[in-house]
Amino acid sequence: MKFDVMLTGVGGEGVLTTQVMIARAANIEGHYVRGVQLHGLAQRGGVIPTFVRFGSEKEVSSPGIMQANADLILAFEALEAVRATYYARKEKTTFVINDYSLVPIYASLFNIPYLTMSEIIRRIKPFAKRIHVFKVSDLGREKLGNAIFGNTILVGVVTGIGLLPLKEDSLLEAIKVTAPREMENNIKAFELGLQLGREKRSAR
């Protein structure tokens, strides 16, 4: 078994912490885990493509995911979902997108307008088995006072829908050790997401 998750977003959004959460949950379930975080220069407001892979040690060895091979793509910033198509293909990949924009200054500097959500979805469609869109940053700001909790909400959402093959308990345990300072809010965020995800699943 092998499951490939890509997380993408903008430096400073907390993408790396989310990667560690998922990696720890997979480890708790006894999976062999690999992945890579690309920081350094990119961390300063640039794109942060991040990977977590888990499964059997025999099948998982490269730290990064192969082109066109992600099972699940979590885009914490909407536009970055389009750049992530490099790792996606129609037969395999589910996109879960946070409807949240961080408009780069290059939009006004080079006069290249930021895409609308419907245009983003239109462009992703040829690479996606399914696309889900949630406003988790708005929800984080509204319910928990900070947009950054959108990350943990999104992890809850994919668990609730059943898109991430890991158990709720393992994720909860991973969240507790990964974000001890904001544990209460992160648990709330995860549960909020779970509920959203479950509603989505039953509505199918």
Partner 1 sequence: MKMDVLEELGKKVVLLGNEAIVRGALEAGVGFVAAYPGTPSSEVPMTFSRIAKKVGLYFEYSSNEKVAFEAATGAAWSGVRAMTSQKHFGLNVAADSIPPVAYTGVRAGFVVMVADDPSAWSSAQTEQDTRYYARMFKLPMLEPSNPQECLDYTKLAFDLSEEFEIPVFLRTTTKINHSIGTVRLGEIKKPKIRGRFQKDPDKYYNLKPHLQVLHERLNEKLRQIEEKYGQKLNKVFPGEGKIGIITSGVSFEYAKEALLELGLKPSIAKIVLTHPISKSFVSNFIKDKEAVLVLEELEPILENFVKQIAKEANPNLVIHGKDLLPKSDEYNLERVIPALEKIFGKKFGIDFNDHKKKVDSASKNLTPRKPILCPGCPHRSTFYAVKKVFGDEAIYAGDIGCYILGALDPINMQDFVVSMGAGIGVSHGIGIVSDQDVVAFVGDSTFFHAAMPAILNYRFNNAGKTPLVVVLDNAITAMTGHQPHPGSGFTGMGEKVEPVKIEDVVKALGAQVKVSNAFSQKQLIQALQDLKSIKGPKVLISRGGCRLLTRRQFHAKGLAIPTFQIDQEKCTKCGICTNDFACPAIVKATVEPGGEPVYSINPDICLGCAVCVQICPEGAIHAVKKEGEK
Show contacts with partner 1 in window 123-142 (CB under 8 A).
123-124, 126-127, 137, 141
Q: Which of residues 45-104 bind partner 1 (CB under 8 A)?
A: 45-47, 52, 57-64, 66-69, 79-80, 82-83, 85-86, 89, 102-104
In the block, residue with structure tokens 């961080």: 102
The answer for residues whose C-beta is within 8 angstroms of residue 109's C-beta and 6 or more apart is: none
User: C-beta of 79: minimal distance to partner 1 in Å?
Assistant: 6
Phi, psi of 90 (to 5 degrees): -55, -40
How far apart CA 175 and CA 53 sit, in angstroms, is 18
Binding segment (CB under 8 A) for partner 1, from list 152-160, 163-171, 177-185, 187-195: 177-185
Tokens (6 digits) for 134: 């949630």
Q: Two tokens at 132? A: 């889900």
CB of 51 to partner 1, least distance (A): 9
Q: Which of 113, 130, 183, 199 binds partner 1 (CB under 8 A)?
A: 113
What DSSP line would sit under 70-110, residue for residue? -SEEEESSTTHHHHGGGG--TTT-EEEEE------THHHHT
Binding of partner 1 at residue 183 (CB under 8 A)? no
Under rule CB under 8 A, residue 165 binds partner 1: no
Nearest distance, CB of residue 70 and partner 1, angstroms: 12
Residue of 74, 121, 136, 147 that binds partner 1 (CB under 8 A):
147
**Does residue 108 belong to the site contacting partner 1 (CB under 8 A)?**
yes
Cα–Cα distance between 112 and 135 in angstroms, integer? 24
